Structure 1
Amino acid sequence: MTAALGSALLLSVAGMAVAQEQGNQSGQTPSATDVDRVVVTGSRIKKVDVEGPAPVTVITAEQIQKEGFVTVFDALETMTQNNAGTNQNELNSAGGFTPNGSPVNLRGLGPGRTLLLINGRRAADYPFPYNGQSNFQNFGNIPSSAVDRIEILAGGASAIYGSDAVAGVVNVVLKTNFEGDVVKLRGGTTTTGGGDFGNIQWVGGRAADNWSLTYALEYFADEPVYAYQRDFMDSRQDNPMPGALGYQPVSTVRINRVASNTPGTYFAPPAGTCEKFGGEYVNFTFRSTYSATHPQAGQPYTLGNACGYWNDVGYQTISNGNKDLSGYLYGTWQITDGLEGWASLQGYHSKSELSGGLEAILGPHIDGTGVFTTFNAANPGMNTNVNIQRILTPQEVGGIEATHQKFNEKSLDVAVGLRGTFADRFDWDFTLGRADYKATRTRPRLDGSAVTDWFFGPRLNTSGTPRYMINLDRFYTPLTPEQYRSMSSILKYDSHSWVNQGNFVLSGDLFEMPAGPFAFAAVLEATSQGYDLNSPDGILPTNRTVYNLTGTNGGGERDRYAAGIEFSIPLLSSLKASVAGRFDKYDDITAVDDARTWGAGLEWRPFSNLLVRGNYSTSFKAPDMHFVFNEGSGSFSTVLDTYRCLSAGLRPGTSACNTSTYAYSMFATSKGEPTLEEETGKSWSAGLVWDITDSLSITADYYDIELEGAVTTLSSTFIMDAEGGCRTGLTRNREPYQFAQDSAFCQEIISRVTRVPAAGEPTDRVINIRSGPVNQAFRHVSGIDAAVDWKMDTDRMGDFRWQLAWSHTLESEIQSFATDPVQTDWRDDPNNFDFRSRIRGSVGWSRNNWNATLFGTRYGSLPNWQETGRVSPYILWNANVGKQITDRMKLTFYVNNIFNNFHPQDDGFNSYPYFWRAYSPMGREVSAQVEYRFD
């Protein structure tokens, strides 16, 4: 920052010299300009000064294009305040709940804690809940053609906007009063393979003395990109750290005894089995190492022969295929001199497809219970407890396209209003609106009963470990596409969310004070919000007839009424104070009845070109609707059975417990919790805006955000660790556990774990974990935002503009549950994959009919996968050059990710895809755009 400030001071001298030279050459002198008052995000009071007590970042439509981005979400991803590195995205969520949603996560506080506004109105939630649990808004369905600018306030703003504005607000302001017509056509591809895309935009407008109309139409299409199209992630052989045993494929068409430290565990398939599967499988002799408790601890031994699969991971998509059509209309009608009517319509229709990869057969399935990954094989020569696995091939299902999930999404945002002025100083605005979002999802999936009938037949016992006779002929023979279709179905999910809202805003100057007008804004709001999520019956936790898949249902409504007021108080000619307060009243089934929030700010201008500012505000977030109305959801994950490990005299976390005996797949269920309370937060910021010259400005702000009572879901790992502690009296480190077995905490925790007897295993096996949301978490984050903006206009070399923004997290604290201590060093914890710093910057140049932009973004370092250090920062560069061919036509060429940078090197990242999910595997993208203007 010191270097940036020093550079800015030096540049200011050059800027003043250039300005003086231009003034002398042109003979012109600056003139005063009347500036209209505008509303800026973070306040409802109209004002001349764009900068206020709380820092607001603005991205213009022109800036989005110059920096090389096609979509709004692409631009928002590069914002320095958007520093979370753990969001689900198209790379890692193909099999998840929201693989087609695009969340923004300001300050890393969670996607649902960033409020999305469209022209100051709430957007409808994305119909599918994030991770099957919480709600968020989709930033991927906003047509960039209709955008005028995006305003980002990264801090608490509930005193102005109510619930959800905890980490910040993103207000997308759409175009108005546009005249003429502009058509843009852009197409491109990646140089690494796949990713062809096309985008066409038409923006126009008409106006007369008493009316105006602005319209926009956009179509965007791109193709899905598969992992096999990237040579660094198309195979399990891309693992940079294969371990002491060297590279091994995943074992498939495999049957193995449930035993540890036992050579020859695998039952070898018949000769020629692997060759039957179209070249997908290879013959392989698998090995393992003896556990820490074995006399030959760490030494390798041979498991046996089976078919191996190297390339199964390559069949998932890393970028969705999309066909998006969107439109926008905005019109005004001047009814009288002091009264104007307006209407707005925004529509979006998307068809997307993606693949989560190939399905696998893991064992027999019993409806309502799920897949038994451990069962007793009654086959002659086996007659023992076994695990099996057979990952299907693309040929068996009818081609990789047959694995595609398909999304059909429609959203509509309609608003009408009246606005006017009375007494020559009071403005009012009455708005009614509805935002509606519908989505359907289809996906192919095996039926549990059909899989069991085909491969295993009827169950041979009624209690204990399930006993089956494996049909070895079918298990060792590829399916035909017809056979796959006969034992599978197309699952369909329907979801719908909406928000109806009305508000009345009155603002203006109440009276004159010695230092200026005493301004105010008052708002009354009424909102009705709801959602309805219907998943296929076969994936619900109560049914579980679909093979190895679960899901969630839910639906409910919530009404809210609010009143708020703001004051802008000129204390001195150089000092202004602002105060805001808001009351929200809720009508739903939760424990939230009402919420009161307030905020205050100061603006001190000791000089005309220097603003020193500070802001404090309280915030709150009502529980996400799916946290409340969830009718039941389920999830599978491999979890350590801490009780088993401790009971065996071992220490969890060591290799001795890292076997299928102690860590295995568990099923967790969760339901909505109407007793949840609101999350509460507070945030403050302090900083300055210094216009060093007319062409050079610097901003720097310190921020501090604290959140208490945050809703978090009791994870399976937390519950299993707590159950182990309650049952054995020991922590993971084998130290005394803090709660006694007969305590209320332990009784609750033990009741959440369901175990059944398991023959040949050390303790009863977990078949269900009852999870759920609780008000437990605490978060605190603080840091610095800074930016430099410098313009330099010359006659000889053209016009230049430099922009640089930087965000750096100074402190991050976390407490997941009230029983945990506050972790004060979370920022530097090796398990925290949020970026500590982000930088974005650009330099633009224009001269005569030419223009060019170089844009760069830098992601700070992250922990390496082995938790021994940190990987290097990640830097991407975009560039474009354009030429005005005629008065109407312009041609621009783009290269995004100039150096084809994929991800920082981490030689210890041994989990697929072998790099952290925040990094994009798309690589270099080249495109061209032609723009044509009509009168």
Structure 2
Amino acid sequence: MKLLNSRKHTLALSITAALFASQSHLAIAAEKQSVERIEVTGSHIKRTDMEGPSPLTSLSAEDIANSGVTDLIGLFTKLPMAGQGTFSTQGNSSDNTSNGGSSVSLRGLGADSTLILVNGRRVSVSPFANNIDTAFVDINNIPLAAIKRVDILKDGASATYGSDAVAGVINIVLRDDVEGAEVAVKFGDTADGGGEEKNISIVWGNSTEKSSHTFALDYFEREEILYADRDYSKSANQQALRPNDPFATDFRSSSGFPGTIALASDSTNRMPDTFGNDVCAEQDIVGNLCRYDYAPVMTSVPATERASFIYLGKYEINDHLRGFAELNGQHSKTTIRGAGSPSFNELFMSGDNVNHPFAMMPTHEFYQQDLTMRRRMLDIGNREKRVTSDYYRSIIGLQGEIKDWSWEVAYNYIKSTSTERGVNGFPNSRRTQEAIDSGLWNPFEPSSNSQESLDFIETTTTRIGKSTSKSFDGKISGSVMEMEHGDLGLAVGVEYREESISDNPDDQFLRGEVFGTEATQANGSRDNTSVFAELAIPVLDTLEVQVAVRHEDYSDFGTTTDPKVAFIWQPTESLSLRGSYGTAFRAPSLHQIGLGNTDESPNLVDTVRCAAVGNINKACEPQEYTAVLSGNDDLGPEESTSYNLGLIYEIADNMDFSIDYYDYDIENVITKDTQFKFSTLGNDPSVVERLPSTIAGDPGEVVRIFDQYENIGNITTSGLDIEANYGLETDIGEFKFTYVVNYVLSYEDARPNADGSMRIDTQEGDFEQPEVRWTFNTTWIQGDWNASMAINYIGEFKQDASVATEGMSDIDSWTTVDTTVNYIGIENTTLSIGATNLFNEEPPFAYHDFMGFANSTHNSQGRFLYVKASYKF
């Protein structure tokens, strides 16, 4: 779909506030102008204005610039309709599987249920899935300098666009109308250390009677932020950071340095390493474990560098035929740091080993006993991963007119490649065990080990990913007939798409020889053919009905057909009502189908062992376990129904508001529930592998848990989107205000019980599910000066259920303020100064993890001050 230039809204409420001062969609009540027809996000039928039956929010380039953000994810994380599942590079660690990537989740339904388009066409997913299975479009691939506007369609749209448009659609419309050149330079830094940013962009273009060309180059660099840079996350021992908080937890790892020694025959019989020259520090000994504080050396936000280019061109072949092309490329680098690799009883030492720590202690109970250990591999340094990604997108097509009908055909090719290299701090477990067995390396006396032994143990890891998408699409739209109240519009089209992904770690991972990190392996391909049709029916002068249907045929799981019906009714000049109903689907991702055995490290509770022998070795408390996850060839698509009802009311020429009610019901959700499987099948050796125990009735300590993806969940959610706009002209300037709020009425994520019934796993107000998000924006314009301010609010929500305890407070609401001031008094020049999180509000405290905050909902950037200068010539 190609979006053409739209007419200006005659309703003079161009809200240019700091963030979500959405362009008003109330022009229905205004006098219509005679202009060319355009194609609007959410419909394939061209119309005379931006208004349609579905709720649509547009953010202009000016809105984005005034927000102060330097990339799209910075913008999207503050959308009131964004929710749990939105993720950025924040929190990327040596254990992440999508390092360097970012994406948005509308309604909290998942990044893989939000369809991302660029100029109305699909974009291939990242070769590295998030959290092992979540296929996502990496929005870091699009620089802000190249964006004309961002359209956000806030209802299901599979009937229009196909798979993934369950929660809605985000369409990024690129600039294609630049005359001359623009250069912009931006520099910013945080108040508390780390996170310095530099950005330079050049955009230029020209138009003739026959052609137009737009080019954009962009360079972006961000310095890393370590958890050590923030007082609330500088230690994994939150008890030490919050000594007066009875609920604060010591999250230091049980894999310490030089570590904890245990009997191989019974790993519950253990003691910290306090023998010989190298011993566990006294402050790190907790009970019978040597613990380690990993937080200070981990990245909260990784270092990132991106260089991008974009080209858009059109050429008029004749009066009724045009050619067009789009090219987009990016090269990016991300560096992620983590603490030295931990081992949890993977390594062993025989009782007769030359380096046995108790060889000279015949009275010790561990004398001549085979040993295992929990040990942090600090000898070879802290972990460092470097991810290099290259992204290419090319489109070539033709468009034209046949009488009153418009048509378009295009070929789209996208390739995304990523290489992740572990360059420091990664041990090869096979060689490490060989070094122990031969006496080359002594795990209990690290200071005695030679550089030769360390070089033998350490390895370099490699993971290579590739994602491709090839597609052909064609469509035609126009008027079928003249009806009493207007033209009956029709659009029909076809799309054929081939997709493939490969995500392959090196042979060491495949042989299970690298511990202390996660890596996925997934390979798959598919093709699908879709046909679609849409009608715009003028039932009355004041009532339009939209009917759409799409049929998809996938090579790997079958077919699906999804309809949508929507309407917009204007009973008076100032009042409009709109609504939509439709079905949608999400095809299982190629990662979810083709995932090979992949290790992850979830925090789980061993309820089976807890019930059998009590809290031995914290069996009744959440701990890190190794889970082996695999794909599932038998997965089917997620299926959903949704509807939306809305009201738009223009109170006066300078005041309007809208309210929309939405409701989603999603079935056969593709997910995993490792805790459920762990609890219900904890005694099944094919599901949970355990070590033997000498304690009567003890099922034994867990080695690993086996799990796979299944269609086992149901999600329902409903809520309200409210927007109010007001303009005010005074002697001291023009003011514009907008208030946008999302209120979640209900959210239920249901999972199966052992007896087949369903339980509510997550609901509104639970962890990372705030019921309210809003932004209030103000802009002021006076002469050569303008300024904007945004107040962003995220409501409170409960602590993570795994740690919630009676008397523990909820996670507080969070309010931040962004502001910017612009001066345009110098010819062709704009100077800006601004801040995000102006008052440096810390994220509210959360008890669930070592960093002390919910890093997928809040962030650790703190106050970010920036200056920017742009020049046009």
* Fold-level similarity (TM above 0.5): yes
How far off is 1:924 after superposition?
0.7
For residues 156 and 823 of structure 2, what CA distance do their matches in structure 1 show? Answer: 43
Deviates more, 1:919-928 or 1:753-762: 753-762
Matched, 1:411 2:391: yes
Q: Is the 8 A contact 2:406 2:476 kept in 1?
A: yes
1:559 paired residue among 527, 537, 542: 527
Classify 1:570/1:451 alpha carbon distance in 2 versus 1 (closer, same or farther; 3 Å): same
For residues 622 and 192 of structure 2, what CA distance do their matches in structure 1 show? Answer: 39
Q: Is the 8 A contact 2:96 2:518 kept in 1?
A: no
Deviations 1:278-327 (A, max 9, x none): xxx74338454xxxxxxxxxxxxxx5xx87645x3110011111110111
Deviates more, 1:750-759 or 1:433-442: 750-759
1:273 paired residue among 249, 253, 278: 278
Q: Give the aligned partner of residue 488 of structure 1.
A: 458
Q: Is the 8 A contact 2:73 2:88 kept in 1?
A: no
Q: Give the aligned partner of residue 502 of structure 2.
A: 532
SS of corresponding position for 2:656: strand
For residues 102 and 387 of structure 2, what CA distance do their matches in structure 1 show? Answer: 14
Q: Give the aligned partner of residue 650 of structure 2.
A: 691
RMSD, aligned α-carbons = 3.2
Matched, 1:144 2:144: yes
Matched, 1:422 2:394: no
Classify 1:479/1:119 alpha carbon distance in 2 versus 1 (closer, same or farther; 3 Å): farther
How far off is 1:570 after superposition?
0.9
How far off is 1:756 after superposition?
5.5
Unaligned runs of 5+ in 1: 1-11, 16-29, 275-280, 289-302, 368-374, 459-468, 651-655, 728-748
Q: Is the 8 A contact 1:657 1:663 kept in 2?
A: no
For residues 555 and 835 of structure 1, what CA distance do their matches in structure 2 show? Answer: 36
Q: Where in structure 2 are the equivalents of 1:146-545 lying within 5 Å?
A: 146-239=146-239, 240=242, 252-257=257-262, 266=271, 269-270=274-275, 273=278, 282-284=281-283, 286=285, 288=287, 303=288, 309-310=292-293, 312-365=294-347, 380=361, 381=364, 382-383=366-367, 388-393=373-378, 396-397=379-380, 403-423=383-403, 425-444=404-423, 445-454=426-435, 456-457=436-437, 475-477=445-447, 483-540=453-510, 543-545=511-513
How far off is 1:672 after superposition?
2.4
Q: Give the aligned partner of residue 659 of structure 1.
A: 618
How far off is 1:681 after superposition?
0.5
Deviates more, 1:233-242 or 1:856-865: 233-242
Q: Give the aligned partner of residue 927 of structure 1.
A: 866
Deviations 1:880-921 (A, max 9, x none): 111124111221111111111121245xx2630122222211
For residues 512 and 257 of structure 1, what CA distance do their matches in structure 2 show? Answer: 84
Q: Give the aligned partner of residue 19 of structure 2.
A: none
1:899 paired residue among 834, 839, 852: 839
Q: Give the aligned partner of residue 98 of structure 1.
A: 98
1:593 paired residue among 558, 569, 593: 558
Classify 1:46/1:194 alpha carbon distance in 2 versus 1 (closer, same or farther; 3 Å): same
For residues 440 and 285 of structure 1, what CA distance do their matches in structure 2 show? Answer: 36
SS of corresponding position for 2:220: strand
For residues 504 and 531 of structure 1, what CA distance do their matches in structure 2 show? Answer: 25
Amino acid at match of 2:328: Q
Q: Is the 8 A contact 1:366 1:545 kept in 2?
A: no
Matched, 1:720 2:660: no
Deviations 1:830-878 (A, max 9, x none): 4x32222111231111111111111121111121353544232111111
For residues 251 and 860 of structure 2, what CA distance do their matches in structure 1 show? Answer: 24
For residues 663 and 210 of structure 1, what CA distance do their matches in structure 2 show? Answer: 66
Q: Is the 8 A contact 1:282 1:308 kept in 2?
A: no
For residues 105 and 246 of structure 1, what CA distance do their matches in structure 2 show? Answer: 30
For residues 127 and 285 of structure 1, what CA distance do their matches in structure 2 show? Answer: 40
Matched, 1:914 2:852: yes
Using the size of structure 2 for normalisation, the TM-score is: 0.88
Classify 1:43/1:478 alpha carbon distance in 2 versus 1 (closer, same or farther; 3 Å): farther
For residues 169 and 526 of structure 1, what CA distance do their matches in structure 2 show? Answer: 20
Classify 1:61/1:366 alpha carbon distance in 2 versus 1 (closer, same or farther; 3 Å): farther
Classify 1:828/1:600 alpha carbon distance in 2 versus 1 (closer, same or farther; 3 Å): closer
Q: Give the aligned partner of residue 874 of structure 1.
A: 814
Q: Is the 8 A contact 1:378 1:470 kept in 2?
A: no
Amino acid at match of 1:551: A
SS of corresponding position for 2:841: coil
Unaligned runs of 5+ in 2: 1-11, 16-29, 350-355
Amino acid at match of 1:452: Q
2:711 paired residue among 755, 775, 785: 775
Amino acid at match of 1:128: F
Classify 1:813/1:660 alpha carbon distance in 2 versus 1 (closer, same or farther; 3 Å): closer
Q: Give the aligned partner of residue 579 of structure 1.
A: 547
**Which protein has the larger Cα radius of gyration, Structure 1 or Structure 2?**
1
Classify 1:308/1:76 alpha carbon distance in 2 versus 1 (closer, same or farther; 3 Å): closer
How far off is 1:774 after superposition?
1.1
Number of residue equivalences: 822
Q: Where in structure 2 are the equivalents of 1:664-679 lying within 5 Å?
A: 666-679=625-638
How far off is 1:376 after superposition?
12
Classify 1:609/1:485 alpha carbon distance in 2 versus 1 (closer, same or farther; 3 Å): farther
For residues 187 and 482 of structure 2, what CA distance do their matches in structure 1 show? Answer: 56
Give % identity.
Answer: 25
Q: Give the aligned partner of residue 606 of structure 1.
A: 571
Q: Is the 8 A contact 2:86 2:103 kept in 1?
A: no
Amino acid at match of 1:198: K
SS of corresponding position for 1:552: coil
Classify 1:567/1:220 alpha carbon distance in 2 versus 1 (closer, same or farther; 3 Å): same
Classify 1:267/1:585 alpha carbon distance in 2 versus 1 (closer, same or farther; 3 Å): closer
Q: Give the aligned partner of residue 123 of structure 1.
A: 123
Using the size of structure 1 for normalisation, the TM-score is: 0.82
Q: Give the aligned partner of residue 636 of structure 1.
A: 601
For residues 230 and 192 of structure 1, what CA distance do their matches in structure 2 show? Answer: 7
For residues 32 and 582 of structure 1, what CA distance do their matches in structure 2 show? Answer: 31
Q: Give the aligned partner of residue 711 of structure 1.
A: 670
How far off is 1:151 after superposition?
0.9
Matched, 1:883 2:823: yes
Q: Give the aligned partner of residue 21 of structure 2.
A: none
Amino acid at match of 1:827: Q
Q: Is the 8 A contact 1:756 1:764 kept in 2?
A: yes
Q: Give the aligned partner of residue 569 of structure 1.
A: 537
Q: Is the 8 A contact 1:857 1:875 kept in 2?
A: yes
1:623 paired residue among 577, 588, 613: 588
2:744 paired residue among 801, 809, 818: 809
How far off is 1:112 after superposition?
0.9
For residues 154 and 93 of structure 2, what CA distance do their matches in structure 1 show? Answer: 26
